[in-house]
Amino acid sequence: MNNSLQAVIFDLDGVITDTAEYHYLAWKALGEDIGIPFTREFNEELKGISRMDSLDKILALGGRVNDFSLEEKEQLAHKKNEHYKELIQKISPLDILPGIQELIVEIKEMKLKMGLASVSKNAFTVMDALRLTDQFDVIVDANTIANSKPDPEIFLTAARLLEVDPSHCIGIEDAAAGVDAIKSAGMFAVGVGSVQTLYKADVVYESTSDLSFKNMVELFEKNKK
Ligand code: BG6
Ligand code: MG
């Protein structure tokens, strides 16, 4: 029992649903507005980090860090968020990514605890729209924590609220910053996406439909030996 798996903690955007794409589209539009176009490759750096940290990275990319006051930056972040909120308006349970609902069922069948660790201030809105809020034992979002991923705080907070030691948890992430956060929290990291980006994870599946709970648990247990 000492080394056993007791909880699975999910990231939201890009793992449970494809809102990572909507964050990208909204930032891309804002970047173009202020003369800072960027690629999907650069967008990987924005995944998993807070709204303001994302804006700072975009401004740094364009060499415009000192061009805006704090108030103007807040207006830019607000504008991005208004666009993002428009894009997520039609989200429904049909937008849960393939394989996720099955994974949730398997986790519950094994009587494990389940948490969400998302640095998004929109996490509850999205979870409610997906009708998933009640299925999770704990939801930790941007409002509960002081430090965004890659800081481990959000995963550690979820584990503490679930009353589980981090070493008994699996964390699932689509962002490099998120994988860093899981590893720094002392958890087993499952990546969803490309190995090039998520190489620090303990195992990487190309997409959510490739997630195999059986395989994940086997690797988690092997890792403990
Ligand atoms: C993370 C996303 O989940 O939430 C980031 O991966 C996003 O791309 C961050 O910037 C903050 O989201 P929000 O909804 O608070 O702007
Ligand atoms: Mg994510």
The pLDDT of residue 94 is above 80: yes
Question: What mean pLDDT comes out for the span 168-177?
Answer: 98
Tally the domains of the chain. Answer: 2
**Range 203-209 average pLDDT:** 98
Measured CA to CA, the distance from residue 172 to residue 123 in angstroms comes to: 16
Q: Is position 134 annotated as part of the catalytic site?
A: no
Residue nearest to atom 11 of ligand 1 (CA): 120
Q: What percent of the chain has pLDDT over 90?
A: 98
- Choose the final residue of a domain: 35, 56, 90: 90
Say which residues have a Cβ less than 8 Å from residue 116's Cβ, sequence separation at least 6.
9, 10, 11, 12, 16, 123, 127, 136, 138, 139, 140, 141, 158
- H helices within 34-152, ranges in order? 40-43, 51-61, 70-87, 100-109, 123-129
When pLDDT is cut at 50, 70 and 90, the band that residue 225 belongs to is: confident
Compute the 3-state secondary structure of the chain and give helix, strand, coil in percent, each to the nearest 5: 50, 10, 40
First to last CA, the chain: 13
Query: Which ligand does the CA of 79 lie closest to?
Result: 1
Of 65, 90, 115, which closes a domain?
90
Domain that holds residue 58: 20-90
CA 9 to ligand 1 center in whole angstroms: 17
Q: Do 114 and 47 share a structural domain?
A: no
Is residue 132 domain-shared with residue 82, that is, in the same domain?
no
Q: Is residue 26 part of a domain?
A: yes
CATH number, residue 80? 1.10.150.240
Would 187 be classed as within a structural domain? yes
Tell me the CATH number at 152. Answer: 3.40.50.1000
Mean local confidence (pLDDT), 215-225:
93
User: Is 2 inside a domain boundary?
Assistant: no
Q: Which of 55, 90, 125 is the last residue of a domain?
A: 90
By residue count, the chain amounts to 225
Q: Among 12, 52, 120, which is best to mutate for testing ligand 1, by the most ligand atoms less than 8 A from CB?
A: 120
Q: Is residue 75 located within the same domain as residue 144?
A: no
Domain identity same for 102 and 171: yes
Predicted confidence (pLDDT) per residue in 50-67, tens digit: 999 999 999 999 999 999
Domain match, 64 and 126 both: no
